[in-house]
Amino acid sequence: MRVSHSCRSLFLALMVLSFLLIPLLSFAAESEQEYVVQGLKVEDIPDDDGTGLVISWKPLPKEKKIIEYRVYRGVTTDSLFYIGKVDVNVETGVSGDVMYFYDKDYNYFVDLQASGSLKREKQQDENSPLFRRYPRDINIIGRELKNYDILGVIPEKDFYYRNKKVEVENENGDKEIYAGFKLHHFAQMAKKLKPDHKYYYTVLAVSQARHYYPHAKPQIGIPRTNSPEKIKQFYPVYVEDKQRLQFEWGLPLFADDHNDHNIYALKKEDLQQFRNYVDAIKKKEANDLERKIDPETEIY
């Protein structure tokens, strides 16, 4: 009877303890979810060459003591790699309602200082899709080369004296000759998004105590090639002493891919026709984009 009584007391104590722990665990789970970034969006950067996306989200309140937001990207939702962060002043927080991160142009891919093996992000379990930067492992980054435009930086000496002749047979059966290099010959490799490719992004918040909170649900983004931004500032200036008419205008925000600027001289009665022509080009561009998203869209 004494043994039975002891077991019964132990069982009752465990039941009481479990009832006390369940609310605590539930509260901890709810508390973690309060730190998940909300309003995550991935949108195409307008008026660019199709290699840029902008990631936006709603910042957490200042009381949450967040010091940074980390951004991850991948071509699937199960493997997202760290690409950058946005620092936050823990005392003042974020003044605006929305935060932005621009993924455009060539940015870091891998270099000689990169890790030799794939590593998950800190404080992540084995099922987490979040990883640190790409490792210096050709078996991993080799699969990613087709998803980005790659820029390789090779020391001059290695470029001229360490390359190896490589012959590759193309789809037509012809042989193409390349200069082959090993991965360690590259001092650095940079990458840029490709137009019309799908990319997934997520963001997580990091507290002042360096705690990594759960990441937001990954969102998809597709960069699109757009026509240049319309010139908003255009001034004709007549230089009287040189008897010359010259033109001045302001460059748009994204002008790296601009090849030239054309100036047209029109009769006043032809001005509306020219404007209609420009509007028609814009409508066709929008229609082409809609048809990429939905092939059944009627052709403009």
Task: Using pLDDT thresholds of 50, 70 and 90, give the confidence band for residue 140.
Answer: confident
Task: Using pLDDT thresholds of 50, 70 and 90, give the confidence band for residue 28.
Answer: very low
Task: Using pLDDT thresholds of 50, 70 and 90, give the confidence band for residue 29.
Answer: very low
Beta strand ranges found along the chain (DSSP E): 38-44, 53-58, 66-76, 79-87, 99-103, 107-111, 130-131, 148-153, 164-169, 175-180, 188-193, 199-207, 219-221, 234-239, 244-249
Name 244's Cβ contacts closer than 8 Å, sequence gap at least 6: 238
Res 93 pLDDT > 60 = yes
- What is the enclosing helix (H) or strand (E) of 29? helix 2-33
Spatial distance between the Cα atoms of 41 and 285, rounded to a whole number of angstroms: 23
Q: What is the pLDDT of residues 111-127, one digit of tens each?
A: 777 887 888 898 888 88
Residue 58, token pair as written in the block? 């709603």
DSSP 185: G
Q: What is the pLDDT of residues 54-69, one digit of tens each?
A: 999 999 988 899 999 9
Contact 95, 78 (CB under 8 A): no
Spatial distance between the Cα atoms of 193 and 203, rounded to a whole number of angstroms: 18
Please give the model's pTM, rounded to 2 decimal places: 0.73
Res 202 pLDDT > 90 = yes
What letter represents residue 89's amino acid? N
